[in-house]
């Protein structure tokens, strides 16, 4: 596996730093003086970067080095790359008391090789030297070498041995988070350069929560690929806490599903697409399917399939029981897997708490349906969670456009069905 497969573009950080300063000063002499390098070295770095990227980053003239549109876009992203390394350096002072001039440390000043950083990320993720080496396609000795060099530069241990392999120290976790965010900015920069040529490219990674996995996210992905068939798309499934951690360190571009409340100073933001209400779901032919005047107390003797106790929908369910003055069900199976829910319902008279959007196809083909019972105050905001201070990549922007359209279509369909049902009952 290559560095790029790990999400690390194979581009010199030193070259990028040189490019950023040339773009800032528009002058080779000033940039070279700031970097304490020769003009020849800076000129060579810019030329190699342009060759690697396949674009002209500067217009050379007697008045200086003027960034092209490619150069301007790249410089904006590299500023954010540099900011992540600077943030890692500021955090370092909390772990290394008495440290001075951390801004001159090659790690925080972008003077270290991306290969060294990649080895640390791989070891952090895999917790095993052999697995890290295999992931990157390098030798175990190369991983050890990178580890030793970075620990010498930091004058801190960043890994500890344990019976279970290598475990990251507290500062290592901080460093890896900032470095991953820096590399995610660099990936977005490359995608933006491609988009200037009319091609939306790159790798879009979407975190999906249970609500959106049936119809909403698949339909949005289909629309994205209709516009940009060359785009690579991956989805990650898991508990919200794990997806949020992956989003914060740049491993995910966004999360789609029930949104959570955030603190005012949080580095995440949410966009609500619409609100959805929960329903009691059962198999077709369930004894309660045709029950007239169905009440919540009629459900008490049945077993339930419910989401985890810390999920927003489960909290709404528990609050509803409290309002109704009812005890919690005696038999509960907890799962977030729709395939498990489907099997458990089809093979029994169990009930489940889901949105009707989650059983879109089961309802369409007559397998499952919602019981005729309104669950009051069970609305949940459905939307997208993103990083607050990171502009979305072109691929993420396209996905946002498509999923907004899907949400609008689903809302219109729901309103049409409600009008039709009201007309039929009257």
The Cα-based distances of 13 to 29, 142, 189, 253 in angstroms read 20, 19, 13, 22
Mean per-residue pLDDT, 81-103: 85
Domains and CATH numbers, the chain: 4-178 (1.10.10.10), 200-272+382-422 (3.40.190.10), 275-379 (3.40.190.10)
**With 70 as the cut, is the pLDDT of residue 197 above it?**
yes
3-state secondary structure of 218: helix
Query: Checking DSSP bridges between strand 254-258 and strand 379-387, what pairing results, if any?
Result: antiparallel
- Predicted pLDDT of residue 378: 86
Which helix (DSSP H) or strand (DSSP E) does residue 53 occupy?
helix 39-53
pLDDT above 70 (res 54): yes
Q: What is the pLDDT of residue 82?
A: 96
Mean pLDDT of 201-217: 92
Greater confidence (200 vs 72) lies with: 72
211 pLDDT band, cuts 50/70/90, is: confident
- Grade residue 221 by pLDDT with cuts at 50, 70 and 90: very high
Lookup: tokens for 89: 């350096």
Q: What is the pLDDT of residue 5?
A: 66
DSSP 250: T
pLDDT score recorded for residue 202: 87
Rg (CA), the chain: 26
- pLDDT value for 412: 85
Residue 15 confidence (pLDDT): 96
- Give the SS3 label for residue 283: strand
Confidence of residue 414 (pLDDT cuts 50, 70, 90): confident
Give the residue-averaged pLDDT of 228-254.
93
- So what's the pLDDT on residue 100? 64
When pLDDT is cut at 50, 70 and 90, the band that residue 63 belongs to is: confident
Closest by CA to 80, choosing from 195, 184, 9, is 184
Q: Averaged over 152-157, what is the pLDDT?
A: 92
Residue 286 and residue 363 in contact, taking contact as beta carbons nearer than 8 Å: no
Q: What's the rounded mean pLDDT across residues 204-208?
A: 96
pLDDT higher for 36 or 197? 36
**Mean pLDDT within 32-48:** 94
Q: Residue 287 in contact with residue 349, Cβ under 8 Å?
A: yes
Mean pLDDT of the chain: 91
278-330 pLDDT, tens digit per residue, is: 999 999 999 999 888 898 888 988 999 999 888 888 888 899 888 888 888 88
Spatial distance between the Cα atoms of 112 and 119, rounded to a whole number of angstroms? 12
Would you put residue 225 in left (φ > 0), alpha (ψ -120 to 50) or beta?
alpha
Q: Grade residue 30 by pLDDT with cuts at 50, 70 and 90.
A: very high
- Does the pLDDT of residue 1 top 60, yes or no? no
| β-bridge partners, 167 | 160
Q: What band does 102 get if pLDDT is binned at 50, 70 and 90?
A: low
What six digits make up the tokens of 58? 């500067």
pTM of the model: 0.87
Q: Is the pLDDT of residue 172 over 90?
A: yes
Give mean pLDDT, residues 124-138.
92
Give yes or no for residue 265 having a pLDDT over 80: no
Is the predicted pLDDT of residue 144 greater than 60, yes or no? yes
**Residue 420: predicted pLDDT:** 67
Per-residue confidence (pLDDT) for residue 416, from 0 to 100 = 75
Residue 418: the pLDDT is 66
């Amino acid at each position: 596996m290559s560095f790029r497969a790990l999400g690390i573009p194979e581009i010199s950080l030193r070259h990028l730093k040189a490019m950023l300063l040339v773009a800032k000063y528009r002058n080779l002499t000033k940039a070279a003086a700031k970097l304490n390098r020769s003009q020849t070295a800076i000129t060579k770095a810019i030329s190699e970067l342009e060759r690697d990227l396949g674009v002209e980053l500067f217009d050379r003239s007697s008045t200086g080095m003027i960034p092209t549109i490619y150069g301007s876009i790249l410089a904006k992203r590299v500023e954010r790359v540099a900011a992540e390394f600077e943030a890692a350096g500021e955090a370092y002072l909390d772990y290394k008391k008495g440290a001075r001039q951390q801004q001159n440390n090659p790690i925080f000043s972008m003077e270290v090789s991306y290969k060294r950083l990649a080895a640390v990320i791989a070891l952090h993720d895999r917790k095993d030297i052999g697995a890290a080496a295999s992931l990157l396609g390098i030798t175990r000795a190369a991983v050890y070498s990178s580890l030793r060099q970075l620990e010498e530069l930091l004058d801190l241990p960043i890994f500890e041995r344990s019976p279970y392999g290598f475990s990251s120290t507290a500062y290592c976790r901080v460093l890896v988070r900032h470095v991953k965010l820096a590399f995610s900015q660099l990936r977005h920069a490359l995608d933006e350069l491609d988009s200037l040529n009319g091609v939306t490219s790159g790798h879009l990674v979407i975190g999906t929560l249970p609500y959106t996995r049936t119809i909403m996210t698949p339909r949005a992905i289909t629309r994205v690929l209709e516009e940009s068939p060359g785009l690579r798309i991956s989805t990650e499934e898991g508990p919200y806490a794990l997806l949020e951690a992956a989003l914060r360190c740049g491993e995910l571009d966004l999360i789609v599903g029930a949104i959570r409340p955030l603190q005012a100073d949080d580095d995440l933001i949410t966009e609500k697409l619409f609100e959805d209400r929960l329903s009691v779901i059962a198999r077709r032919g369930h004894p309660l399917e045709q029950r007239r005047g169905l009440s919540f107390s009629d459900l008490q003797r049945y077993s339930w399939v419910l989401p985890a106790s810390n999920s927003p929908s489960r909290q709404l369910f528990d609050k509803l029981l409290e309002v109704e003055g009812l005890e919690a069900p005696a038999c509960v199976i907890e799962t977030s897997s729709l395939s498990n829910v489907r099997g458990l319902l089809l093979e029994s008279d169990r009930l489940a708490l889901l949105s009707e959007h989650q059983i879109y196809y089961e309802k369409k083909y007559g397998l499952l349906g919602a019981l005729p019972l309104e669950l009051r105050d069970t609305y949940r905001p459905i939307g997208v969670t993103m990083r607050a201070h990171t502009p979305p990549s072109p691929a993420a922007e396209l996905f946002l456009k498509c999923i907004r359209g899907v949400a609008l279509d689903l809302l219109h369909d729901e309103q049409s069905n409600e009008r039709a049902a009201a007309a039929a009952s009257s």
